[in-house]
């Protein structure tokens, strides 16, 4: 699950990390109150920041929601200094409009929340990222003096400017590694010491929060030599949700693909793609293999869908409903290997789905494994117009042909 900047910063702040703090709001009626509150804490310079689940906001463009080709203002994040009226005018242009950045696609994302934060005078910007490096089973901390800009560009053009330190998760970040990062960034004196504390706490936060990505771009050295997280991007590892019941409140379904949200509610693993062959498969590996073979046969998968090992007729029906809600879907391939899940149950699910949903596209079915023969009988006697297949290649070919 991805978090908004203001949510990520609030979690980091609780763990003792110095962040550019502020107040989030979803309606301009709260603007004056937010400023008054910040002023009461001694803050007199402001930055106004759009909150969407995408980066590159600073260089993004705000378009009118009701008139998508009209630019309202350039930039989805702006430093306003102490000019409260200017900040208010700008904030009013963000809320309810569409922010397009290099990460959102041209349809952009609606700004439903803005963050009014403390404006900081910046001496230098850095990049810090922590994530899992699966190839070595370690966490990797990446740091660069090229902060604020797209790290992808730095990685591509000047990879030597990214310093990497691999942390063994069972040992944790060692002090020599923290120093290696500080030296690599060219830090000295008090800033050096502050950075060591900052990165140590940040690594702890990555572990404690069960994050799969923690990115601070930029981390800044302020004019008064403080080390501050100016931006924060956190992705929480969904596999650890059971340890963090409170994370449920952080979910913003507006930011997620509606079909994926619905699938989650039915315990289905669904990821929307942009092809036209809907896939219903059990097991993530088989689902990947199925997608590959559809591609090989000249088709293009519309989704990844793993119905899981305990598929019931209801699961299958919900799977159908979700696949068919995508209007790009022109054919469906059901590929089930009956191991734990029994093929006859899946067959009954297909029949139940066909009764309750109007299935208007060709459906190719391949059921193998436990009770496959019974399943075939059930489907053959159902009177439904299904195309059956025995091997996976055959299934992929038949579904691609059915598109013609
Ligand atoms: P992003 O564009 O989505 O990554 O949003 P950021 O939160 O990183 O902000 C974009 C840029 O705005 C930063 O890289 C800074 O250069 C600038 N910025 C953000 N907050 C401040 C601030 O308090 N003071 C100054 N001077 N610039 C800021
Ligand atoms: Mn940023």
Which of the four CATH numbers 3.40.50.300, 1.10.3720.10, 3.40.50.720, 3.40.50.261 does domain 258-402 have?
A: 3.40.50.261
pLDDT in 10s for each residue of the chain, 404 residues: 999 999 999 999 999 999 999 999 999 999 999 999 999 999 999 999 999 999 999 999 999 999 888 999 999 999 999 999 999 999 999 999 999 999 998 889 999 999 999 999 999 999 999 999 999 999 999 999 999 877 888 889 999 999 999 999 999 999 999 999 999 999 999 999 999 999 999 999 999 999 999 999 999 999 999 999 999 999 999 899 999 999 999 999 888 888 888 898 888 999 999 999 999 998 899 999 999 999 999 999 999 999 887 778 888 899 999 999 999 999 999 999 988 888 998 898 889 888 898 888 999 999 999 999 999 899 989 888 889 898 999 999 999 999 98
Our answer to whether residue 146 is catalytic in this structure is no
Q: Establish whether domains 21-118 and 258-402 are of one fold.
A: no
Active site residue 176: no
Interval between CA 5 and ligand 2 midpoint (Å): 9
For residue 45, the ligand 1 atom closest to its alpha carbon is 23
Task: Kindly list the domain boundaries of the chain, sorted by start residue.
Answer: 21-118, 122-247, 258-402
Of 3.30.1490.20, 3.40.50.300, 1.10.357.10, 3.10.28.10, the CATH number of 21-118 is 3.30.1490.20
pTM: 0.82
Judged by its nearest atom, the ligand closest to the C-alpha of residue 215 is 2
Can the peptide bond before residue 218 be classed as cis, meaning omega within 30 degrees of 0?
yes
Residue nearest to atom 8 of ligand 1 (CA): 231
* Spatial separation of the C-alpha atoms in residues 259 and 110, rounded to whole Å: 18
Instruction: Give the mutation target among 18, 43, 47, 109 for probing the ligand 1 site: most ligand atoms within 8 A of CB.
Output: 47
297 within 8 A of 397, measured Cβ to Cβ: yes
- As for ligand 1, residues whose beta carbon falls within 6 Å of it are 20, 47, 49, 55-58, 77, 79, 119-120, 122, 125, 148, 217-218, 230-231
Q: Are 218 and 127 in contact (CB under 8 A)?
A: yes
Fold of 122-247: D-amino Acid Aminotransferase; Chain A, domain 1 (3.30.470)
Tally of CA atoms within 13 A in the half-sphere of 55 that contains its CB: 15
Buried b (16+ CB within 10 A) or exposed e, 91-100: bbebbebbbb
Distance from the alpha carbon of residue 122 to the mean position of ligand 1, in angstroms = 10
Most ligand 1 atoms within 8 A of CB, residue of 48, 58, 87, 101 to mutate: 58
Residue 245 CA to chain centroid, in angstroms?
A: 19
CA 21 to ligand 1 center in whole angstroms? 13
């Amino acid at each position: 699950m991805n978090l908004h900047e203001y949510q990520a910063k609030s979690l980091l702040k609780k763990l003792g990390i110095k962040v550019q703090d502020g107040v989030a709001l979803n309606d301009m009626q709260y603007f004056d109150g937010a400023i008054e509150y910040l002023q009461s804490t001694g803050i007199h310079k402001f930055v106004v920041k759009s909150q969407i689940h995408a980066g590159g906001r600073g260089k993004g463009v705000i378009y009118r929601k009701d008139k998508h080709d009209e630019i309202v203002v350039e930039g989805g994040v702006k430093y306003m200094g102490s000019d409260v009226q200017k900040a208010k005018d700008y904030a009013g242009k963000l809320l309810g409009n569409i922010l397009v950045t290099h990460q959102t696609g041209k349809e952009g994302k609606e700004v439903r929340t803005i963050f009014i934060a403390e404006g900081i005078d910046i001496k230098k910007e850095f990049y810090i990222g922590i994530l899992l490096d699966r190839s070595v089973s370690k966490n990797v901390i990446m740091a660069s003096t090229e902060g604020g800009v797209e790290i992808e560009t730095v990685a591509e053009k000047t990879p030597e400017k990214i310093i990497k330190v691999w942390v063994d998760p069972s040992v944790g970040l060692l002090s020599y590694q923290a120093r290696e990062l500080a030296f690599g960034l060219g830090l000295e004196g008090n800033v050096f010491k502050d950075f060591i504390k900052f990165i140590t706490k940040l690594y702890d936060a990555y572990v404690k929060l069960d994050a799969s990505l923690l990115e601070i771009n930029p981390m800044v050295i302020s004019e008064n030599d403080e080390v501050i997280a100016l931006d924060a991007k956190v992705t929480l590892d969904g596999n650890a949700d059971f340890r963090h019941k409170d994370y449920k409140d952080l979910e913003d379904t507006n930011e997620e693909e509606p079909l994926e949200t619905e699938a989650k509610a039915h315990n289905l693993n669904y990821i929307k793609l942009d092809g036209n062959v809907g896939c219903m498969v059990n097991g993530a590996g088989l689902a990947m293999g199925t997608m590959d073979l559809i591609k090989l046969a000249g088709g293009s998968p519309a989704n990844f869908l793993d119905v899981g090992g305990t598929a019931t007729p209801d699961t299958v029906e919900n799977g159908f409903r979700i696949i068919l809600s995508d209007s790009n879907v022109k054919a469906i391939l059901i590929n089930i290997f009956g191991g734990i899940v029994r093929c006859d149950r899946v067959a009954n699910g297909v029949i139940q789905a066909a009764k309750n949903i109007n299935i208007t596209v060709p459906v190719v079915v391949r059921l193998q494994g436990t009770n496959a023969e019974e399943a075939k009988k059930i489907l053959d006697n159902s009177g439904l117009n299904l195309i059956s297949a025995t091997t996976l290649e055959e299934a992929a070919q038949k579904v691609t042909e059915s598109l013609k």
